[in-house]
Amino acid sequence: MTVATEPLLDFDEALERYDPVMGLEVHVELGTATKMFCSCPTVFGAEPNTQICPTCLGLPGSLPAVNGTAVEWAIRIGLALNCEIAPWCRFARKNYFYPDMPKNFQTSQYDEPISFNGHLDLEVEGQPFRIEIERAHMEEDTGKSTHVGGATGRIHGADYSLVDYNRAGIPLIEIVTKPIEVPGHLAPAVARAYVAELRDLIRALGVSEARMERGQMRCDVNLSLKPKGATKFGTRSETKNVNSLRSVERAARFEIQRHAAVLASGGTIVQETRHFHENNGTTTSGRRKEEAEDYRYFPEPDLVPIAPAKEWVEELRKTLPEPPGVRRARLAADWGISDFDMQSVVNAGALDLIVETIGAGATADQARKWWTGELARTANEQGVELADLPITPAQVARIVALITAGELTDKLARQVVEGVLAGEGDPDTVVAQRGLKVVSDDTALLAAIDDAIAANA
């Protein structure tokens, strides 16, 4: 596939002439033990087609049965997003054909979502923003296709595809914003901040790990431009499956520049889906929506309506965690750090790790120093999430304790960290095996020097 490079207008110039309007649709995979409509497990990375049953494989005769926990979590997400919870709602079938969707309809919700009319507050560059939520509804995920043949392993030019249905039927919550109209130069950052805030909220609720790199949280960025001062929205593009925070920001920025170039040259935007490319930050045309899709939604006849009792909803409201923004402000005050420093902590994905490290006995300063310094650097170099480094908050706390006790210098402590990360064991084991204790009498020092000489001989 050849990708024609589309003309772009300079970002600032684009925003002098146009105002962007964004809509963000985020799909979150719930971390329930079983799927939305069947009792198959949902373990990530399982052998292909081992987490399937007649229902999620869409076999003739199979029927869905709703996961009550998924409904409960959907309500909690709705409440956390300040939504109204529908006193009565239904599932609906969204009908379209696609090989990775076993029934060729998605069991979703249409005009009766479980929660609607909410908002999420954020702060970008010190400015507060309220993102209005249109709806958060329940649906199911599709299977996964691997494209075989062709040059790129991509869908275009492939000879055939192989489908694994393990993911088919995993519960999804689709969260849709109302149109977001913010100062244009901040739009990409607001999009990113919204997704980040949503991710933190989802994690705080404990309903999903929301790891974007695993596809547990996926974002569609809908964007249109209108001439400065105009009220009528322009035609939008829908950039699908943007799967990192950075990409959300880049996709929004790219689309602003692309739309502006088309409009400035007198062209018109066609309504279409776009694909985002992580490697170069561009989007390319997907499917045109010239023949308006007709999904023929109708109420799912295999399922009965959901009518959450008021009392149940109020019980669930009591289980909501402290909102991430409030928690951050509280922690920043506790730790005596600025909002800016707190932002770096959050961006590094270090917040919960620091909290746990403090819980294991370290001071706030020390915990923050290690996680946002040495460890963040290592994670970055290795291209992994901070939380995925093979070192625990308890281990970091122990290292800090050794430093405080004067048994390690910072320099030696870095070697201990290195040892732990290399799988050499607990900090104390690494200290012992590498002989890293601060030496306090000459005998030991001399012995160490002798050892070193012997080792290098």
Partner 1 sequence: MTDLTRRTAADLAAAIASGEVSALEVAQAHLDRIAKVDDKVHAFLHVDTEGALAAARAVDEKRARGEKLGPLAGVPLALKDVFTTHGIPTTCGSKILEGWLPPYDATVTRRLREADVVILGKTNMDEFAMGSSTENSAYGPSHNPWDLDRIPGGSGGGSSASLAAFEAPLAIGTDTGGSIRQPASVTGTVGVKPTYGGVSRYGLVAFSSSLDQGGPGARTVLDAALLHEVIGGYDPLDSTSINAPVPQVVEAAKLGATQGVGGVRIGVVKQFDGEGYAPGVIQRFRESVDLLRELGAEIVEINAPSFDYALPAYYLIAPSECSSNLARFDAMRYGLRVGDDGTHSAEEVTALTREAGFGAEVKRRIMLGTYALSSGYYDAYYGQAQKVRTLIIRDFEKAFGKADVLVSPTTPTTAFKIGERADDPMAMYLADLCTIPTNLAGNAGMSVPCGLAPEDGLPVGFQILAPALKDDRLYRVGAALEAALLDKWGHPILEEVPAL
Partner 2 sequence: MPSITREEVAHLARLSRLDLSDAELDHFAGQLDQIVGAVARVGELPTADVPPTSHAQPLTNVFRADVVRPAGTPILDRAEVLAQAPAAEDDRFRVPRILGEE
CA 189/CA 95 separation, integer angstroms: 35
Token pair 């965690």 is found at 321
Using the contact rule CB under 8 A, the part of the chain among 115-123, 171-179, 290-298, 443-451 near partner 1 is 290-298
- Selected from 9, 28, 56, 342, the binder of Zn ion by CB under 5 A is 56
Query: x/- contact string, 385-424, with partner 1 (CB under 8 A)?
Result: ----------------------------------------
Residues at the site binding partner 2, with contacts judged by CB under 8 A:
32-34, 39-41, 47-50, 52-54, 57, 65-71, 88, 90, 96-99, 101, 142, 145-148, 155, 158-165, 240, 273, 275, 286-287, 294, 296, 298-299, 301, 303-308
Tell me: does residue 70 bind Zn ion (CB under 5 A): no
Element (H, E) at 71: helix 68-80
Using the contact rule CB under 8 A, the part of the chain among 93-101, 232-240, 331-339, 377-385 near partner 1 is 93-101
Contact criterion met (CB below 8 Å) for 359 and 393: yes
Q: Least separation, in Å, of the C-beta of 219 and Mg ion?
A: 12
The residue among 61 and 406 lying less far from partner 1, judged by its C-beta, is 61
Residues at the site binding Mg ion, with contacts judged by CB under 5 A:
174
Q: Least separation, in Å, of the C-beta of 194 and partner 1?
A: 31
Contact criterion met (CB below 8 Å) for 187 and 22: yes
Indicate the residue type of 92.
Answer: A
Name which of Mg ion, partner 2, partner 1, none residue 153 binds, using a CB cut-off of 5 to 8 Å depending on partner kind: none
- Selected from 1, 59, 387, 445, the binder of partner 1 by CB under 8 A is 59
Burial classification of residue 378, based on how many CB atoms lie within 10 Å of its CB (0-12 exposed, 13-18 middle, 19 or more buried): middle
- Selected from 214, 228, 287, 296, the binder of partner 1 by CB under 8 A is 296
Distances (CA, A) of 49 to 57, 58, 140, 166: 9, 13, 17, 5
- Selected from 7, 87, 99, 373, the binder of partner 1 by CB under 8 A is 99
- Residues with Cβ < 8 Å from 437, sequence gap 6 or more? 407, 408, 412, 431
Compute the Cα dihedral for 74, 75, 79, 84 and give only its sign: positive
The residue among 298 and 340 lying less far from partner 2, judged by its C-beta, is 298
Tell me: does residue 381 bind partner 1 (CB under 8 A): no
Token readout for 274 is 């776009």
Rule CB under 8 A: which of 140-179 touch partner 1?
Answer: 159, 161, 163
The residue among 174 and 249 lying less far from Mg ion, judged by its C-beta, is 174
Q: Least separation, in Å, of the C-beta of 420 and partner 1?
A: 47
Compute the Cα dihedral for 350, 183, 17, 224 and give only its sign: positive
Tell me: does residue 303 bind partner 1 (CB under 8 A): yes
Element (H, E) at 119: strand 115-124
Distances (CA, A) of 347 to 45, 193, 260, 339, 341: 27, 10, 30, 12, 10
Nearest to 157 by CA among 167, 170, 147: 147
Contact criterion met (CB below 8 Å) for 348 and 387: no
Name which of partner 1, Mg ion, Zn ion, none residue 60 binds, using a CB cut-off of 5 to 8 Å depending on partner kind: partner 1
Name which of partner 1, Mg ion, Zn ion, none residue 174 binds, using a CB cut-off of 5 to 8 Å depending on partner kind: Mg ion
Tell me: does residue 38 bind Zn ion (CB under 5 A): yes
The residue among 163 and 394 lying less far from partner 1, judged by its C-beta, is 163
CA 247/CA 259 separation, integer angstroms: 18
Token pair 């992580």 is found at 278
Q: Least separation, in Å, of the C-beta of 39 and partner 1?
A: 9
Name which of partner 2, partner 1, Zn ion, none residue 305 binds, using a CB cut-off of 5 to 8 Å depending on partner kind: partner 2
DSSP state of 6: P
